[in-house]
Amino acid sequence: MHIGILTGGGDCPGLNAVIRAVTLSLIHHTGARVTGIRKGFYGLIARQVCTLTADTVDAILHEGGTILGAHNSANPFRWTAQADVPAQDVSHEVLAYARELGLDALIVVGGDGTMAIANRIHQLGLPVVGVPKTIDNDLMHTERTFGFDSAVAIVAESLQRIATTARSHGRVMVVETMGRYAGWIALAGGLAGGAHAIVLPEFAYSPDALAQLCRQRERQQGYTVICVAEGAKAIDGDMVVKARLEHSPDPIRLGGVGELLREQLQSRVASEVRSTQLGHVQRGGAPTAFDAALSTQFGWWAAQLVLRKAFGQMVVLRNSSCTSVPLAEVAGKVRQVPADDQWVQTARSLGVRFGDETLTEAAI
């Protein structure tokens, strides 16, 4: 067998662990040839590949990023090398190159945008197996995506560090996390990091409700820490869009809601309000032990799907065990935080606010 593997979309802790697990599993069980596709689907467009061996992947388990490189705008169905050049469908050239390489199947590691491309590639005739990768934890039908735990650990630590400054200076500190259209990172990170308010895309927030919390804490504790997801929006507002990349599978780049929330709160509270955007530090560095184990498990299961010829499937985690679902059920879809999620219930029971609470008469 000759199997290709690529890492699409953004980088993420645990990608190298998947590459390692796939390569070692296929080589040890079948003596298969494994080819790495460089920079996601761009490698199939630009004909850039490399041979993966047991020696190649021996020491990459705990390395951050991906040894194959990543590309977040290499869509074979809408490809252009320059922003001012019209996009073209080069998918048939991609499939022709895959046949030239002699690939029997392709393992695609990525998020919902990457899975949407992978599903279309599979439908065109190249057998595909998907592996769910995103720090956002927002892919359908899987309890967890690798990279999420690593991001949450960074958010939680950052909140704890910022809380010491907030206490020392009597400030309101707003910390903005990644997460796109889902609030999983902010929710788990905020819960683990002791945030006093967690603002999510799923629950539109009221600046007045959050200001009420801050004023209450001004009188009692003297400081407030707020964790806000980048996709959050006020009741009468929209998500804050930082940029648009029209040729990317996910063209909208969010960012800036933390600073907006700072401005909204500053006129409503006596304390000084500061904002911090964590940004790409959430995606960098080595995976946590949990993510290293999970991504290894995902890579092993992806290899098992290849050996069983169970193509057109994506690995998912259910009840702490791996299984799979059709790519079509995942492609282009987002799993958001439900209102009855136990993390949400836990936070509310501890007095954590989400900004969607009804104002008390005294606050009005």
Sketch out the chain's domains with CATH numbers.
2-146+287-329 (3.40.50.450), 150-284+338-349 (3.40.50.460)
Average pLDDT over residues 298-307: 97
Q: Which residues carry a binding-site annotation?
A: 10, 111-114, 134-136, 171, 178-180, 230, 274, 280-283
Q: Which residues are annotated as a binding site for substrate?
A: 134-136, 171, 178-180, 230, 274, 280-283
Query: What is the per-residue pLDDT for 247?
Result: 63
| pLDDT band at 358; cut points 50, 70, 90 | confident
**Per-residue 3-state assignment (H helix, E strand, C coil) for the chain:** CEEEEEECCCCCCCHHHHHHHHHHHHHHHHCCEEEEECCCCHHHHHCCEEEECHHHHCCCCCCCCCCCCCCCCCCCCCECCCCCCCCECCHHHHHHHHHHHCCCEEEEEECHHHHHHHHHHHHCCCCEEEEEECCCCCCCCCCCCECHHHHHHHHHHHHHHHHHHHHHHCCEEEEEECCCCCCHHHHHHHHHHCCCEEECCCCCECHHHHHHHHHHHHHHCCCEEEEEECCCCECCCCCCEEEECCCCCCCEEECCHHHHHHHHHHCCCCCCEEEEECHHHHCCCCCCHHHHHHHHHHHHHHHHHHHCCCCCEEEEEECCEEEEEEHHHCCCCCCCCCCCCHHHHHHHHCCCECCCCCCCCCCC
pLDDT of residue 252 exceeding 90: no
How far is residue 261's CA from residue 264's CA, in Å, rounded to a whole number?
5
pLDDT at residue 360, as a whole number: 62
By mean pLDDT, which of 8-12, 15-19, 143-147, 189-193 is the weakest?
8-12
Say whether pLDDT at 364 is over 50.
Answer: no
Lowest mean pLDDT among 10-14, 150-154, 343-347: 10-14
pLDDT value, residue 283? 93
pLDDT in tens, 89-137: 999 999 999 999 999 999 999 998 899 999 999 999 999 999 999 999 9
Residue 5: name the closest of 41, 47, 59 by CA.
Answer: 41
**Greater pLDDT, 313 or 363:** 313
Residue 317's DSSP bridge partners are 322
Cβ neighbours of 348 (radius 10 Å): 13
What long-range pairs does 81-89 form, CB within 8 A, spacing at least 24? 83/246, 83/247, 87/247
Q: What is the mean pLDDT of the chain?
A: 94
| pLDDT(323) > 60 | yes
Q: Is pLDDT at 220 greater than 70 in this prediction?
A: yes
6, 161, 167, 169, 273 from 221: Cα distances, Å: 50, 17, 8, 12, 15
- Which pLDDT value is given to residue 357? 87
pLDDT tens string 16-45: 999 999 999 999 989 999 999 999 999 999
* Residue that is written with structure tokens 């606050």 in the block: 363
Calculate the CA 142 to chain-centre distance: 13
* Residue 89 annotated as catalytic: no
- Is residue 362 scored above 60 in pLDDT? no
Which pLDDT does position 254 carry in this prediction? 87
Half-sphere exposure of 133 (CA within 13 A, CB side): 36
The binding site for Mg(2+) consists of 112
The yes-or-no verdict on residue 187 having pLDDT over 80 is: yes
* Nearest C-alpha neighbor of 199 from the set 356, 341, 335: 356
Is this prediction's pTM over 0.85? yes
List 11, 136, 138, 250, catalytic entry: 136
Q: Is the pLDDT assigned to residue 248 strictly greater than 70? A: no
Whether residue 82 is predicted with pLDDT greater than 80 in this model: the reply is no
Mean pLDDT over 172-192 rounds to 97
